[in-house]
Amino acid sequence: MEKRRTWREVFQNAWDGVLATASTERNFKVHLALCAAVLLLGALLQVSRLDWGLLCMAIGLVLSAELMNTAVEAAVNLTVGERIHPMAKKAKDAAAGAVLASALFAAVIGLIVFIPPLLRLAKDWGWL
């Protein structure tokens, strides 16, 4: 019978997945950089606890979608190899669509959270 993994091994495998994706997937690196910028801006503008919650949800959603997209790509490539197949296209396009949907959601959250304090700042500095 297969040996049950320890919690440590479970987390280690999951972390390996994050690291492998971060080192190979350009889109994931871009999203990580954007997430860091969002966290920095949130700290600089001292957004509310509720806004932090929204930002964390958006970040979690985008990074999760990127990781799932990478998993789907790897699984499809493993299955079809070099062959072109309409179901491979469907799976990869749907996974890419999930990333797009999450990124659009995150962009809307970013606008809702950051526009009011940025407008206030612009008024305070006499730019508006």
Ligand X SMILES: Nc1ncnc2c1ncn2[C@@H]1O[C@H](COP(=O)(O)OP(=O)(O)OP(=O)(O)O)[C@@H](O)[C@H]1O
**Is residue 89 a contact point for ligand X (CB under 6 A)?**
yes
Q: How far is the CB of 57 from ligand X (least distance, A)?
A: 23
Contacts with ligand X, 26-65, as mask; x by CB under 6 A: -x--------------------------------------
Task: Specify the residue, 31 or 109, whose C-beta has the smaller distance to ligand X.
Answer: 31
Query: For residues 47 and 121, is the Cβ–Cβ distance under 8 A?
Result: no
Residue 48 phi/psi, 5° resolution?
-70, 170
**Is residue 88 a contact point for ligand X (CB under 6 A)?**
yes
Distances (CA, A) of 81 to 20, 27, 40, 75: 20, 22, 41, 10
Distance (Å, whole) CA 29 – CA 65: 13
Task: Specify the residue, 56 or 72, whose C-beta has the smaller distance to ligand X.
Answer: 72
**Cα torsion angle, 80, 86, 89, 94, sign:** negative
The site for ligand X (CB under 6 A) is made up of 25, 27, 69, 73, 80, 83-85, 88-89, 92-93, 96
Q: Which residues are catalytic?
A: 66
